[in-house]
Chain A
Amino acid sequence: DTAVSQTPKYLVTQMGNDKSIKCEQNLGHDTMYWYKQDSKKFLKIMFSYNNKELIINETVPNRFSPKSPDKAHLNLHINSLELGDSAVYFCASSQETTGDDTQYFGPGTRLTVL
């Protein structure tokens, strides 16, 4: 059973398009995250949601909009894609209420903007 899953795994698109990446976790966790990994493998958090409420928004452009329809899903919508958005995007989840901060990561979505 996949704990944290993302779709699609690869996404190739043109500049200016709008695209979405979906994330689902079946761990029963209450907190979900989006991270961006750039070409140098640097990982940086973008957003965090706890019980569907936005907790962290790390100075990400307004073109990025996370949506959490329920605790098990956190989708990332990107408008007007730019070349610099090319990266690998990771979703993660954790259960904050237990005091265990361990985050479990999905397999990643490689976004290529042409």
Chain B
Amino acid sequence: AQSVTQPDIHITVSEGASLELRCNYSYGATPYLFWYVQSPGQGLQLLLKYFSGDTLVQGIKGFEAEFKRSQSSFNLRKPSVHWSDAAEYFCAVGERTYKYIFGTGTRLKVLA
């Protein structure tokens, strides 16, 4: 069965430090992969997505993610975190049957 795992429930980083959020998936074919961000009390905003092609994808707000088929991973990175990046981050795998499977989310806290 398809699944998405985000191993880190909480992550705390200092402002200006680098960030990597982990996402592992289990999927039978080449997946469609997404990262969304949810700020407190807000809806989900798409950060970036991978369908095919270049395995390093660039997103909004300075985020990037790398698809590694051999590791079944799609980790999200940012070289320098800003205080406004504090939020909940969700990884998702898309199915062609119209539904996403979401990970359980990683809450990012940024220290000033």
Contacts and interface: CB of A to CB of B under 8 A. Distances in A.
A50 B98 contact: yes
The 4 A-B residue pairs with the shortest CB-CB distance, nearest first, are A107-B43, A105-B44, A101-B94, A43-B102
23 contacts: A4-B43, A31-B98, A33-B98, A40-B104, A41-B38, A42-B104, A42-B105, A43-B102, A44-B102, A48-B98, A55-B98, A56-B99, A58-B99, A90-B43, A101-B32, A101-B51, A101-B94, A101-B95, A101-B96, A102-B34, A104-B46, A105-B36, A105-B44
B63 interface: no
Interface string B73-112: 0000000000000001010001111111010110100000
A112 to B, nearest CB: 14
Interface of A is mostly: strand
Interface of B: 32, 34, 36, 38, 42-46, 49, 51, 88, 90, 94-100, 102, 104-105, 107
B88 A41 contact: yes
Interface in A83-97: 90, 92, 94, 96
A66 to B, nearest CB: 13
Given A43-B102, A56-B98, A102 B49 contact: yes
Interface residues of A, number: 27
Interface of A: 4, 31, 33, 40-45, 48, 50, 55-56, 58, 90, 92, 94, 96, 100-108
A55 B88 CA distance: 29
B104 A106 contact: no
A42 B102 contact: yes
